[in-house]
Structure 1
Amino acid sequence: MSRQSAPAPSPPETRREVVTETLHGVDVEDPYRWLEGDDEDVREWTDAQNAHVDDALDDALRDRLRPRFEDLVEVADYGPIAVREGRYFATVREPGADHARLVVRDAPDGADRVLVDPNAWAANREEDGPPRSMAWYVPSHDGERVAIGITEGGDENYDVRVLSVPAPNGSPSSSAETDGYGAGVEEVAVLPERGRVNAGSLAWAADDEGFVYVATGGAADGAQMDKEIRRFRLADGPDEEAVLLEHDDQHVWPRVTVDPDSGLLAVAFSEMVGGTEWYVRVDGDLRPVLTGTDAETSVRFHDGTAFVTTDAGAPRRRLLACSVERFREGDLSFDECREVLPEGEGILRSAVPTPDRLLVHRQRDAHSRLSVHDRDGTHLRDVSLPSYCSVTWVSGSRDAPEAFFGLTGFDRPPAVRGLDLDDTSGGDAAGAAATSDGAAGATATSGDAASTEIDSVDLSVPDDLVVEQRFVDSTDGAEVPVFVCYREDVAVDGPRPTLLYGYGGFRNSITPSFGRFRLPFLADGGAFAAVCARGGYEYGEPWHESGMLADKQHTFDDFVAAGEALCGSGLTDTDHLAVAGGSNGGLSVGAVVTQRPDLWAAAQCAVPLLDMLRFHRFLLGESWTTEYGHPEDPEAFEYLRAYSPYHNVESGETYPPVYFTTAASDTRVHPSHARKMTARLQHEAAGGPFLLRTKAETGHGVGKPASMIVDEQTDSWAFLYERLGVEVGDGGVASGADGDRDGV
Structure 2
Amino acid sequence: MKQFSRMAALLAGASVLAMTGCDNMKQIKHLPYPETARGEVVDNYFGTEVPDPYRWLEDDNSEATAAWVAAENAVTEDYLSQIPFRNAIRERLTQLWNYPKEGAPSKHGDWYYYYYNDGLQNQSVLCRTQQPGEAGEVFLDPNTLSEDGTVALSAVSFSKNGRYFAYAAAASGSDWVEIRVMDTETKTRTEDRIEWVKFSGAVWAPDSKGFYYSAYDAPKEGVYSAQNQFQKVYYHKLGTPQTADRLIYEDKAHPLRYFSAWPSEDGKWLFVIASEGTSGTEILCRKTSETKFRTLLAGFDHDYAPVDCKEDNLYFVTNEGASNYTLKRIALTAPAKVETVIPEHEKNLLEGVGTAGGYLFASYLQDAQNQVVQYDYDGRLVREIVLPAIGTVGGFSGEEEDTELYYSLANYTAPATIYRYDIASGESTLYKSPEVAFDPALFVTEQVFYPSKDGTQVPMFITRRKDMKLDGKNPCLLYGYGGFQINLTPGFNPSALMFVEQGGVYCVANLRGGSEYGEAWHKAGMLENKQNVFDDFIAAAEYLIAQKYTSSERLAINGGSNGGLLVGACEVQRPDLYAVCLPQVGVMDMLRYHKFTIGWGWAVEYGSSDNEEQFPYIYKYSPLHNIKEGVKYPATLVMTADHDDRVVPAHSFKFAAQMQHCQAGEAPVLIRIESKAGHGAGKPTSKRIDEAADMYAFLFQNIGVPYRPVGE
TM (norm. structure 1) is: 0.87
Partner residue of 1:45?
A: 68
Tell me the SS of whatever aligns to 2:120.
coil
Shift of 1:223: 5.5
Which residues of 2 match residues 240-255 of structure 1 at below 5 A? 240-247=244-251, 249-255=254-260
For residues 441 and 430 of structure 2, what CA distance do their matches in structure 1 show?
A: 23
Equivalent of residue 305 in structure 2, options 295, 298, 309: 298
Partner residue of 1:209?
A: 209
Shift of 1:81: 3.8
For residues 227 and 162 of structure 2, what CA distance do their matches in structure 1 show?
A: 33
Give a deviation string over 1:268-321, Cα, whole Å, max 9, x none: 112323322111133111122111462211112255353211112211011123
Which residues of 2 match residues 104-503 of structure 1 at below 5 A? 104-121=128-145, 123-124=146-147, 131-166=150-185, 184-199=186-201, 202-217=202-217, 220-221=222-223, 222=226, 224-247=228-251, 249-282=254-287, 283-292=290-299, 294-301=301-308, 303-304=310-311, 305-322=313-330, 326-327=331-332, 329=333, 332-333=335-336, 336-385=338-387, 388-423=390-425, 449-454=427-432, 456=434, 458=436, 460-489=438-467, 495-503=473-481
Do the aligned partners of residues 596 and 587 (structure 1) sit closer, same or farther apart at CA in structure 2, a change above 3 Å counting?
same
For residues 244 and 461 of structure 1, what CA distance do their matches in structure 2 show?
A: 54
For 1:84, the aligned partner's letter is H
Which residues of 2 match residues 552-571 of structure 1 at below 5 A? 552-571=530-549
Partner residue of 1:520?
A: 498
For residues 484 and 40 of structure 1, what CA distance do their matches in structure 2 show?
A: 45
Shift of 1:418: 2.2
Give a deviation string over 1:446-501, Cα, whole Å, max 9, x none: xxx43433464645442121111111111333111111010123579752100000
For residues 455 and 106 of structure 1, what CA distance do their matches in structure 2 show?
A: 20
Tell me the SS of whatever aligns to 2:397.
strand
Do the aligned partners of residues 538 and 301 (structure 1) sit closer, same or farther apart at CA in structure 2, a change above 3 Å counting?
same
For residues 578 and 29 of structure 2, what CA distance do their matches in structure 1 show?
A: 17
Structure 1 contact 303–355 (Cα < 8 Å) conserved: no
For residues 638 and 218 of structure 2, what CA distance do their matches in structure 1 show?
A: 26
Tell me the SS of whatever aligns to 1:567.
helix
Equivalent of residue 724 in structure 1, options 687, 703, 706: 703
Do the aligned partners of residues 235 and 707 (structure 1) sit closer, same or farther apart at CA in structure 2, a change above 3 Å counting?
closer
Structure 1 contact 492–525 (Cα < 8 Å) conserved: no
Question: 2-11 or 263-272, which moves further after superposition?
Answer: 2-11
Structure 2 gap ranges (5+): 1-21
For residues 531 and 250 of structure 1, what CA distance do their matches in structure 2 show?
A: 37
Give a deviation string over 1:686-723, Cα, whole Å, max 9, x none: 22311101111111112222221221111111011111
Structure 1 contact 348–361 (Cα < 8 Å) conserved: yes
Partner residue of 1:178?
A: none
For residues 110 and 375 of structure 2, what CA distance do their matches in structure 1 show?
A: 24
For residues 493 and 726 of structure 1, what CA distance do their matches in structure 2 show?
A: 15
Equivalent of residue 17 in structure 1, options 39, 55, 59: 39
Shift of 1:730: 3.1
1:699 aligns with 2:656: no
Question: 261-270 or 539-548, which moves further after superposition?
Answer: 261-270
CA RMSD of aligned residues (A): 2.3
Structure 1 gap ranges (5+): 167-183, 425-448, 734-744
Tell me the SS of whatever aligns to 1:477.
coil
Do the aligned partners of residues 155 and 356 (structure 1) sit closer, same or farther apart at CA in structure 2, a change above 3 Å counting?
closer
For 2:55, the aligned partner's letter is R
For 2:292, the aligned partner's letter is D
For 1:92, the aligned partner's letter is Y
1:74 aligns with 2:98: yes
Give a deviation string over 1:125-150, Cα, whole Å, max 9, x none: xx6xx832222211111111110011
Do the aligned partners of residues 706 and 293 (structure 1) sit closer, same or farther apart at CA in structure 2, a change above 3 Å counting?
closer
For 1:270, the aligned partner's letter is S
Structure 2 contact 324–346 (Cα < 8 Å) conserved: yes
Partner residue of 2:17?
A: none
Count of aligned pairs: 679
Give a deviation string over 1:243-280, Cα, whole Å, max 9, x none: 11224635532122111223421111123233221111
Partner residue of 2:118?
A: 94
For residues 463 and 653 of structure 2, what CA distance do their matches in structure 1 show?
A: 33
Tell me the SS of whatever aligns to 1:12.
coil
For residues 490 and 565 of structure 1, what CA distance do their matches in structure 2 show?
A: 17
Shift of 1:580: 0.3
For residues 167 and 433 of structure 2, what CA distance do their matches in structure 1 show?
A: 23
For 2:521, the aligned partner's letter is W
For 2:116, the aligned partner's letter is V
Shift of 1:359: 2.0
Tell me the SS of whatever aligns to 2:450.
strand
Structure 2 contact 230–256 (Cα < 8 Å) conserved: no
Partner residue of 1:181?
A: none
Structure 2 contact 168–178 (Cα < 8 Å) conserved: yes
TM (norm. structure 2) is: 0.91
Quote the sequence identity (%). Answer: 31
Give a deviation string over 1:203-255, Cα, whole Å, max 9, x none: 10110000111112456343633301000001433231011122463553212
For residues 732 and 218 of structure 1, what CA distance do their matches in structure 2 show?
A: 54
For 2:539, the aligned partner's letter is A
Partner residue of 1:680?
A: 658
Shift of 1:64: 1.6
Tell me the SS of whatever aligns to 1:68.
helix
Structure 1 contact 251–626 (Cα < 8 Å) conserved: no
For 2:630, the aligned partner's letter is G
For 1:375, the aligned partner's letter is Y
For 1:133, the aligned partner's letter is A
For 1:49, the aligned partner's letter is E
Which residues of 2 match residues 663-678 of structure 1 at below 5 A? 663-678=641-656
Give a deviation string over 1:134-184, Cα, whole Å, max 9, x none: 222111111111100112212121111111112xxxxxxxxxxxxxxxxx3
Question: 400-409 or 206-215, which moves further after superposition?
Answer: 400-409
For 1:72, the aligned partner's letter is L
Question: 102-111 or 77-86, which moves further after superposition?
Answer: 77-86
Question: 564-573 or 218-227, which moves further after superposition?
Answer: 218-227
Do the aligned partners of residues 525 and 450 (structure 1) sit closer, same or farther apart at CA in structure 2, a change above 3 Å counting?
same
1:84 aligns with 2:108: yes
Structure 2 contact 96–437 (Cα < 8 Å) conserved: no
